[in-house]
Structures are given as C-alpha cells and as structure tokens.
Amino acid sequence: MIRLTFVAAIAAALLVPAVASAKGPSEATISGPGFSKKIDVLNDGSGGTVGGDLTQQSGFFPAAFGQSPDPMLHRRPAHLGPRYTIVWKVPGGAPNLRLRQDIYPYARGGSVTYMKPGQPIFDMTTRGGWYRDPQLKQTLVSLGLSAQAPSGSGGGTNWVLIGGLLAAAALLAAGVILWWRQRGQRSPSTSSTELPAGSRT
C-alpha cells in the first residue's frame, strides 16, 4: 500500500510540470465572412476575460495538448455553416509559432471548432479534432460577429445563385422554342406545290 502511494506521488510530481509547461496562446487573430478581429490572450488560458473565454470555449488546450477525460467529438458534425479561422500565436516555442483552428459559429447544435492534428507546438504536435461549445458564439458576437449567419457565405441556400440559374434556363428554353417555330415557318409545304404550266390538261 505504501509502495502504491509512493508511485502515485511520483507520477503526480511528474505531471504537474508537464501541465504547467502547457502554456496557451498570447494572441488570437480571427477572420471570416464579414468579420476580422485581433485580441490579446492570457497565455495561462484562464477565463474571466474575452481572450480567456475564447481559449476555453474553442477547446484550444484539449485540441492542442490532449486532455483526460477527452472532450473532443468522435466525428465531424453536420450542418456546420460558414467557416471562420483563428490563428493562435503561441509564445515560448519556435519563433513565430502559429496554430490554426477553424471555427463554425453557426453550426447546428452549437458552435464547433476544428484543429488539424499534427501541427508542431513545442516538442510535440497537436492532438487536433472537433470540439463543441455553444457559448463560443456569444463570445464571438461580443467581439462584433453578426448574431445571424451572413447571406451567401455558405451557411445556407444561395437563393441569388439559384435564381440566376433558373432565369438563364428560362431564357434558353424560350430561345429554343422561338427558333423551332421560325424553322417550321420557313419550311416549304408540299401540299401547296403547283404543277408546271406545260403539264396542265
């Protein structure tokens, strides 16, 4: 029993420096349809500020370093809507270390983020994956993001494009019908052909 306690204490002592060294980003640049914003972030990832909330609600830490229990989604959600991108500046690693994370604020069921696995960070690579937090949208709205998905941004049906295609199809059909009628009017009618004068009796 004493041996097990001693082993657990050693494991905890090794784990604390590893967690402490997992520093978060110092800056986030968000861009997407009709929106662009740069904000400062406390690199300890604490909440209570817009930058801290953004770090937590985007799932930066579990996506970058992994976490147990694992909060990442098991599969790509459907109906994501328009995509935005966060570029995180992470201090303490290689110069100008940047991590990219996609954001889908208007995803059905709540905002979703995706970080590509294998991005280098410190002496490791990102765990990556899909993460959901419905509160993320409200944080982005507080930064100036529209509460509704912008039209024509891929978040829904592009009615302008569909209307243009239907109008073009209607014009093409009208042109074909007109051409067909004019062709029929120019064709000679065999029933009205007169006999040559010398062949009359």
Exposed, middle or buried: residue 116 (CB in 10 Å: 0-12, 13-18, 19+)?
Answer: middle
Which pLDDT does position 199 carry in this prediction? 52
CA distance 142 to 2: 53
Average pLDDT per 10 consecutive residues for the chain, totaling 201 residues: 44 40 83 94 74 94 95 96 96 81 97 97 94 97 94 52 70 82 66 53 51
Residues 6+ apart with CB under 8 A from 160: 152
Which pLDDT does position 111 carry in this prediction? 97
Residues 6+ apart with CB under 8 A from 25: 41, 43, 55, 60, 88, 89, 90, 91, 99
Which pLDDT does position 174 carry in this prediction? 83
Which pLDDT does position 17 carry in this prediction? 39
Which pLDDT does position 11 carry in this prediction? 42
Exposed, middle or buried: residue 146 (CB in 10 Å: 0-12, 13-18, 19+)?
Answer: middle
Measured in degrees and rounded to the nearest 5, phi and psi for residue 36 equal: -155, 130
CA distance 10 to 16: 10
CA distance 52 to 187: 79
CA distance 117 to 127: 5
Which pLDDT does position 186 carry in this prediction? 65
Residue owning tokens 């229990």: 69
